[in-house]
Structure 1
Amino acid sequence: MKIGLLSDTHGWMDPSIFDHFKICDEVWHAGDIGDPKLLPTFAAFKVFRAVHGNIDAQAVRLVYPSFQSFNCEGITIWMVHIGGAPPLYTAEIRAKLKQTQPAILVCGHSHILRIMRDKKHPPLLYLNPGAAGQQGHHSVRTLLRFEINNTKIGNMEVIELGSRVLPNALEREPDPT
């Protein structure tokens, strides 16, 4: 199973995302989708799983929950927009980890690309794909692509989409001096 993972599009979709994810079986979005007009585009493209983020309007929140737990290729996946990062998880995630543990925890929100094992909860793999949109403090827009095969996670790829600030966004007022 090939997975394409993104987050924090904030209502803007780089068309190259569809090229990068064309070989994927599923696309997962870790919140802050932004414009609900993007939802049909995702749904028509691939199997699409998502959670809503803190900037998502009611139209997105009605379709996607704040937290998802699901199985993929025999492993448990948790996906949430704001979950913290190892070892500083949110209270909600810490409470859930006391009860059970997923193989993969997917979070968004920070706009910081991060792939790491949680040493306190091995073998939990923490994934944050960074941000694919133009809004935020990140400098490079990123995605993740990976495989889950018979409970094994592998072929992790970081995809850089380029600068957060696109060339036409750099237009400025002329310098009066």
Structure 2
Amino acid sequence: MVAAEPRTARIGLIADTHGLLRDEALAALRGSDRILHAGDIGDPRILDALAAIAPVDAVRGNNDTAPWAQRLPEARQLEFGALTIHLLHDIKTLAAHPPPGPVQVIVAGHSHRPRIERREDGVLHVNPGSAGPRRFSLPVSVAILHLGASGPTASIVELGA
């Protein structure tokens, strides 16, 4: 009998919707086991729509100033088995909101620039880009974080916006 491959968790990453949740973003995030929103949500109905796909964890962005957004933290730490993810809106505020312990992945938005980078310390940094209104000539995108036996990996999904 052959042992089954360990299941890979699929974590949908989205940021900077600014009140606009595109159908293409919803399609790209379908099949996620969990969704992380890295702030600048813009409308609480976006979190409800994402929650129809998978459980959602979100942080408040600098533009999330309405009363509904005040219940969201500026940063949060999430555990997925032995893996720890630190979620915040702006990577430049990491010093103000440092992870309370070791992390393997840091997810941040704010710049609207999609990026995946494994730093020298081994921590995977992911910015899913902006899934909301297009800013300048930057792509409209989300990201997928894959959690498997060989460690976390990520991919950017550009939306046909």
Q: Are residue 126 (structure 1) and residue 137 (structure 2) matched?
A: no
Q: Are residue 144 (structure 1) and residue 152 (structure 2) matched?
A: no
State which structure, 1 or 2, has the greater radius of gyration over its C-alpha atoms: 1
What letter matches 2:156 in structure 1? V
SS at match of 1:133: coil
Distance 2:85 2:127 in 1: 13
Query: What TM-score do the two structures reach when normalised by structure 2?
Result: 0.85
After TM superposition, which residue ranges in structure 1, 4 or more long, deviate above 2 angstroms? 135-139
What letter matches 2:133 in structure 1? Q
* Counterpart for residue 4 of structure 2: none
Q: CA deviation at 1:102?
A: 0.9
Q: CA deviation at 1:4?
A: 0.9
Where in structure 2 are there 5+ consecutive unaligned residues?
1-8
* Residue pair 2:14, 2:36 contacting (<8 A) in 1 also: yes
Q: Are residue 38 (structure 1) and residue 46 (structure 2) matched?
A: yes
What letter matches 1:82 in structure 2? D
* Counterpart for residue 65 of structure 1: 73
Distance 2:53 2:20 in 1: 16
Distance 1:61 1:39 in 2: 14
Between the two proteins, the alignment pairs up a number of residues equal to 152
* Counterpart for residue 113 of structure 1: 114
What is the aligned-residue RMSD (CA, Å)? 1.9
Q: CA deviation at 1:53?
A: 0.4
* Counterpart for residue 14 of structure 1: 22
SS at match of 1:140: coil
Distance 1:138 1:102, change over 3 A: farther
SS at match of 1:45: coil
Query: What TM-score do the two structures reach when normalised by structure 1?
Result: 0.78
Q: Identity of counterpart residues, as a percentage?
A: 31
Distance 1:135 1:19, change over 3 A: closer
Q: Are residue 92 (structure 1) and residue 96 (structure 2) matched?
A: yes
Distance 1:74 1:138 in 2: 38
* Residue pair 2:26, 2:50 contacting (<8 A) in 1 also: no
Distance 1:157 1:151 in 2: 15
Where in structure 1 are there 5+ consecutive unaligned residues?
164-177
* Residue pair 2:111, 2:129 contacting (<8 A) in 1 also: yes
SS at match of 1:111: coil
What letter matches 2:70 in structure 1? R
Distance 2:18 2:69 in 1: 12
